[in-house]
């Protein structure tokens, strides 16, 4: 049995798709691509697919990860091409590699989020971020499976900065007139904790320390996942799987 690791993106309108629906879509795409999946034992066998920290519904991502096990050796690059062609636009396969051993989940303990806040002045956002980073603790309420719970969102925030600003075009309903508004953009690295601190928890923390209230809903995009190094940067979870480069001659493509 061979294990392959896949990085994929969740873009556009598909960011509103639940993880359950994404998983079902992937399973159908694997069948259409002719991937020789390995299955679990028992009364109701399921394809051996393992999801790593799926992004919450409503957020986009450029760094989602899944592992699949197959019964015949296949070429990872061919798998990426065939699976990407079988998936709908918005679920886009970026890369596939053969697993070199160990657990992929053990290589991920943090993620980088880009949070766009239309209508928020970047200077105002910068002041709020300074207050957030200066606070030793910021308690926010989070809805968990056990109900609402107070958590310290600050403990999970490794770094946060305003990276740049953009102008977004808006259209007024009725007269069709267009205008522009400034958009502050926050880049933040968040450590994995229990419960998990999400972008909405970071925004709640900014509201607590600075009364920052975006006039329209923010857009969050997960840009990267990986293990945090001593500087607070994220290492590529596929780095060990790419080295050394393995010869693939003689390995059939998907469906052969």
CB atoms within 10 A of CB 158: 17
> What is the topology classification, in CATH, of domain 109-235?
Alpha-Beta Plaits (3.30.70)
pLDDT at 66: 96
pLDDT at 175: 56
Q: What is the pTM of this model?
A: 0.86
7: CB partners within 8 A, 6+ apart = 63, 64, 65, 93, 94, 95, 96, 238
pLDDT at 244: 52
Q: Which mean pLDDT values do the consecutive 10-residue runs of the chain (256 residues) have? A: 95 94 95 93 88 93 96 94 96 95 91 95 95 97 86 96 67 55 90 93 97 94 95 92 52 45
Indicate where the chain has its CATH 3.30.70.580 domain(s).
2-106+237-242
Chosen CATH of 2-106+237-242 out of 3.60.20.30, 3.40.50.300, 3.30.70.580, 3.40.50.170: 3.30.70.580
Can you tell me the distance from the alpha carbon of 231 to that of 227, in angstroms, rounded to the nearest whole number?
11
């Amino acid at each position: 049995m061979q294990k392959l690791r896949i990085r994929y993106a969740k873009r556009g309108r598909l960011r509103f798709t639940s993880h359950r629906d994404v998983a079902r879509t992937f399973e159908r795409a694997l069948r259409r691509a002719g991937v020789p999946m390995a299955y679990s034992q028992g009364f109701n066998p399921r394809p051996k697919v393992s999801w790593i920290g799926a992004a919450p519904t409503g957020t986009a991502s450029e760094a989602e990860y899944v592992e699949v096990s197959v019964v015949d050796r296949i070429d990872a690059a061919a798998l990426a091409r065939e699976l990407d062609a079988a998936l709908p636009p918005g679920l886009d396969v970026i890369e596939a590699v053969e697993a070199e051993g160990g657990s992929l989940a053990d290589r991920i303990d943090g993620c980088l989020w880009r949070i766009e806040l239309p209508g928020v002045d970047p200077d105002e956002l910068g002041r709020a971020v300074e207050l957030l980073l200066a606070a030793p603790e910021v308690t926010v309420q989070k809805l968990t499976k056990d109900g609402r719970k107070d958590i310290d969102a600050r403990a999970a925030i490794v770094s946060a900065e305003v990276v740049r600003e953009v102008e977004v075009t808006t259209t007024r309903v009725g007269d069709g007139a267009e205008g522009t508004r400034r958009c502050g953009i926050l880049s933040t690295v968040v450590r994995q904790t229990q419960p998990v601190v999400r972008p909405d928890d970071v925004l709640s923390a900014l509201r607590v320390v600075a009364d920052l209230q975006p006039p329209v809903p923010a857009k969050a995009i997960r840009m990267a996942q990986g293990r945090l190094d001593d500087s607070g940067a994220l290492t590529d979870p596929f780095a060990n799987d790419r080295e050394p480069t393995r010869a693939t001659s003689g390995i059939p493509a998907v469906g052969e």
